[in-house]
Chain A
Amino acid sequence: MYVAVKGGERAIDAAHAWLAEERRGDQAVPELSVPQIREQLKLAVNRVMAEGSLYDPDLAALAIKQARGDLIEAVFLIRAYRTTLPRLGGSVPVDTGAMACIRRISATFKDAPGGQVLGPTFDYTHRLLDFALLAEAAPATPSAPAEGSATAPAVVPHITEFLNRDGLIETQPVSDAPAPDLTRTPMELPASRALRLQALTRGDEGFVLGMAYSTQRGYGRTHAFVGELRIGMVAVELAIPELGFAVEIGEIELSECETVNQFTGSKTEPAQFTRGYGLVFGQSERKAISMSLMDRALRWRELGEDDSGAPAQNEEFVLMHADNIQATGFLEHIKLPHYVDFQSELELVRRLRRAALAGAGGQDHA
């Protein structure tokens, strides 16, 4: 008797065992440690923390190791872990003005108080493979400390505040209302700016980059300048009601980007620059810049601009498709068996073909 071959527990167990073996790779090569990943693949760790919405470099490094370097899989591991964590409280908003900057640049001013600080950037490297890194016996430490790395990171004012003094840039209303939390409340549209920013900062870097890029190419153009990009550590403080003041519970590294965008004004509002904002865990400046372009593009309604029909202006489109864990899950689920639905389609197509061929006087050879 024929028995249809289907999957089962043994197949799953065997697949898991094989996966573990593949993850380890050639046993002759030393195993990567989590600290090695944390320290030497830091930008990957940053991305996993940002899109996983959990600031923990050790766990992010562990997730990268477990995921064999598949960063979306690593983000997934972090998200699934994060969702089980209890909520002990909400922090006081971090003060990025008090950031200890390791990098701070402005494209809108040649110089500004505090100066331009390049920091550890790829920007002016020549993208030539460095074969010295290939050598097994690469020097353990750089030959000499980089210039400036010994000096303490600077606390410097936000550059857009200089524009603000002259009323040249819009003032953002300050609110003490608790921020929405899209991990605890179902997405409701239209979304507030705070909710949009939250979706963007944990959105897929590639998606946010592509959408931001589309605005630069004319699909919802917003003429962005990088007013300031800064990267550094900020303190996280938790208000303790019993004490009546906030206590510092740790530090996190953030990338913050403020773009300055042209706005021609209207009959009622004088011409002014407008803002786009990006804030991302870790040194993730491509994401922070992309996010600020997207933030600005999505603000068209509140700024009284026209909807040009560009994808980047379509809040529902952007917010519903930015999450790579949702996207990858749904995309990859088409690997699951669908033979029941396919069978009903098969019968439908056969029936339609029979009807069509009979109508045409032909014969069904199917």
Chain B
Amino acid sequence: MREAAYNFAYLDEETKRMIRRAILKGVAVPGYQVPFASREMPMPYGWGTGGVQVTAACLVPEDCLKVIDQGADDTTNAVSIRKFFQRTAGVEVTERTAEATLIQTRHRIPEAPLSEGQILVYQVPIPEPLRFLEPSETETRKMHALQEYGVMHVKLYEDIARNGEIATSYAYPVKVEGRYVMDPSPIPKFDNPKLHRSSALQLFGAGREQRIYALPPYSAAVSLDFDDFPFAASKAPHDCDLCGAAESYLDEVIIDDAGGRMFVCSDADFCRTRREAGHAGQLAAGEAA
């Protein structure tokens, strides 16, 4: 039940209107970071305040909300944010990706393809893809205005020269609709292909940095690469030890003092759904035998 002491979805109406206008402009200019007057929230900056503000501005009472952190619904911060919206918006919550109408995420895109009726809200720490190449906001703003993205290609190329491959494994930049270079938030680059032409609306909120941006459904989001060094999504070369999935992103878990490890799907719902359907990985099978 929603607590009556709070406005629906916590934020006051003036704040929600301001955020909603920013979201609409973000949708109209895919990949462009719209400045917005981010508010202090009851959780700290860096813990999802941008995502929480975007979610609060989008929620309707009919929504079914899923919150994940590292792909899992039961990570502490995901639990905390989900509880916050149960209290302040009274919305239904779920751990099932397919049931959710709005999913707030930190660091992952669910494995199951999203559908037309869904919105995926990302928590973003540093929205500016050029920030670590150019610390000044005044300068990076000019670089986006002039499409001066050469510095990014130089950085990626230097990676190749030094390491033989691009040494960026998460928060891997994409070019949106051939115009803006965008930070997809710190998702592993394994997830980058899921950004591209998704059926769902993808919204990005950076609270501390006061930016909102968007990928409308079916938008092109192409990972930066070179003809001779094409982008490759990578993951641990294993199958999930619980559900046997070969094509999902895996967490490596150390299971004993000798350093023994297992690999399990980072997307908890994906793994459970597969196990419920009868799939089993080598550890699960061993127990069943």
Contacts and interface: CB of A to CB of B under 8 A. Distances in A.
Interface of A: 1-2, 4, 6-9, 11-12, 76, 79-80, 82-84, 86-87, 183-190, 316, 320, 325-326, 328-333, 336-341, 343-348, 351-352, 355
Interface in B27-71: 35-42, 44-47, 49, 69-71
A320 B108 CA distance: 28
Most A C-beta atoms less than 10 A away, residue of B125, B137, B264: B137
Interface in B154-212: 163-165, 167, 169-171, 186-190, 208, 210
B234 A80 contact: no
28 contacts: A1-B284, A2-B241, A7-B75, A83-B39, A83-B41, A185-B37, A186-B210, A188-B35, A316-B136, A330-B208, A332-B44, A333-B45, A333-B46, A337-B77, A340-B70, A340-B108, A341-B107, A343-B188, A343-B236, A344-B189, A345-B169, A345-B170, A346-B252, A347-B169, A347-B234, A347-B236, A348-B234, A352-B165
A333 B41 CA distance: 15
Contacts of B188: 340-341, 343-344
B4 interface: no
Given A339-B70, A344-B190, A183 B164 contact: no
Nearest to A1: B287
Contacts of B163: 352, 355
B36 A186 contact: yes
Contacts of B41: 80, 83
A344 B234 contact: yes
A237 B11 CA distance: 29
Interface in B227-267: 234-236, 241-242, 249-253, 255, 262, 264, 266
Given A7-B74, A340-B107, A347-B235, 8 more contacts: A1-B242, A2-B283, A7-B75, A12-B76, A187-B210, A316-B138, A320-B137, A343-B251
Contact of B79 (A9, A184, A345): A9
A333 B206 CA distance: 13
A300 to B, nearest CB: 16
Contacts of A316: 136-138
A82 B40 CA distance: 8
Which 3 residue pairs of A and B lie closest in terms of their CB atoms, listed nearest first? A329-B45, A333-B46, A329-B44
Nearest to B69: A337
**Main SS class of interface, A:** helix
Contacts of B71: 340
B79 A8 contact: yes
A316 B79 CA distance: 35
Contacts of B210: 186-187
Interface in B68-106: 69-72, 74-77, 79-80, 83, 106
A2 B46 contact: no
Nearest to A182: B37
A112 to B, nearest CB: 41
Contact of A6 (B72, B236, B250, B287): B72
Contacts of A189: 137-138
Contact of A186 (B38, B167, B186, B287): B38
A7 B236 contact: no
A332 B47 CA distance: 9
B45 A326 contact: yes
Contacts of A346: 252
Nearest to B268: A6
